[in-house]
Amino acid sequence: MAYHIHEHSYVVGGLGVTGQACVRFLLAQHAKVKAFDTRPTFSLPEDLLATMQDDVVTASEVTKAYFNGVDTLILSPGLAPTIEQVALAKECGVEVIGDIELFARLNRSARHPKKLVGITGSNGKTTVTLLVNHLLNACGVSSIEAGNVGRPVLEALDSDVDVVVLELSSFQLETTTTLPLCAATILNISDDHLDRHGTLENYIQAKQRIFNHAQSAVVWRDGIHISPDTSHAATIDNVLEYGLGACAKGFSIKSVEGKQYIAFNQRPLIAIQAIHLAGMHNVLNVMAALAICHELGVSPEAAVQHIGSFHSAPHRCVEVARIEGVRYIDDSKATNIGATIAALEGLAPTTEGHIILIAGGDAKGANLATLTPYLNQHVTHVFALGKDAQQFKDCFAPTTLVSSMEEAVAQARQEARDGDVVLLSPACASLDMFDNYMHRGDVFARAVHALLLQATAL
């Protein structure tokens, strides 16, 4: 059944980047729309302010009467479905969806629907999303990335492409019910966003929703909670696995004349040493991307030829500088425990010396003691800063508390020796001290570059 947007009346909840994109899209489609924001004070761009000024309210002004005549509430992913305004909407018989669900309906109603793939997980989503998009385009399949990766998904509707590669967060999946995917994957699961979801099980169930209408599942064979469970696998007719061990089918590691290769069905594709993305966790990311491309009809042999021309997104295990034999690596995007574990386990096999970790921030309710065995195995010293820095001290004795990123970098330099790695991989969110994880990574990079200038001046 076609979905006619102009026949509906909408409320947009939340006026951040996603909410503003939804309002602009709905206005362009001549739909009736108004909006609310949960912040007591907020500002809108001039174009929206001029158009929507009389139709925007704060959350405190939202009553049952506000939803009179409203068909659908489009909830921004930053707002939890448990907020009071959502409960009021449901009491009034208003449907609650997110922008991903709206996109799914409109794409399904289009004359030429785009093929869709979905990528979620606690860590690595953006890298895999961008890599899949790069490989598809390099192999002649026109595609665009959208969703949690930064491009609002509704902007992809007008793009002249065959495939949309969707990065999907647990928050987005909570309000998505009918998204049809050619291929879907949960890359990994670790404790994250428990302040929002309450329990790990709730978080897992939000992630599992990606499989609800998927044709194919791409699965890391050694992962936990990432295979489609029985309640989310009704439409799946194929599962393609990958992993770092040897395996006869799917993607695996194969040794040839002393060198290790990514292999598909035991056919060597690319030497691990030839992959410029740092760490074995990125080898898994490459496998996942190749597997998704395979499910869209692009052979691994063709796709792998274009790995070398891919440029990773910033702040994801990116080497900032080498100073006196010490590598300084920015992994500021590691905003949860699982991401830091992945970085440590990924970098350890390729590190000649020791790993010195800079970490800390807001743990978002997670128990940082989960890191202890990985710190014991891979790290010689931690420099911890931010709101939950003391948790690192409590779970790992060789920890020094510092008050700033500059102090952390300076003290790490004193500790490091030739062959070591100084790794910023915080395992925590950044907002207690920084604007966002990008700002945190930039401050780290500036501090490292200051050291580099000092070293070259000597």
Residues tagged active-site: 125, 148, 193
Closest CA to 219 of 236, 198, 206: 236
- Which stretches of 304-436 are DSSP H helices? 337-347, 372-378, 389-395, 405-415
Closest CA to 161 of 134, 181, 141: 141
CA distances from 182 to 95, 147, 228, 238 (A): 26, 16, 14, 10
The label of the residue with tokens 């869709």 reads 116
At 144 the three-state DSSP class reads strand
H or E element at residue 60: none
DSSP string computed for 80-140: -TTSHHHHHHHHTT-EEE-HHHHHHHHHHHSSSPPEEEEEE-SSSHHHHHHHHHHHHHHTT
H or E element at residue 454: helix 437-457
228 burial via Cβ count (<10 Å: 0-12, 13-18, 19+): buried
Q: 186 with 338: CB under 8 angstroms?
A: no
- Which stretches of 355-388 are DSSP H helices? 372-378
Beta-sheet pairing, 95-97 with 115-120: unpaired
| Amino acid present at 53 | Q
DSSP label at 214? B
Beta-sheet pairing, 163-167 with 216-220: unpaired
Q: At what angle do helices 280-295 and 125-138 cross, to 10 degrees?
A: 50
Q: 135 with 306: CB under 8 angstroms?
A: yes
CA distance 166 to 149: 8
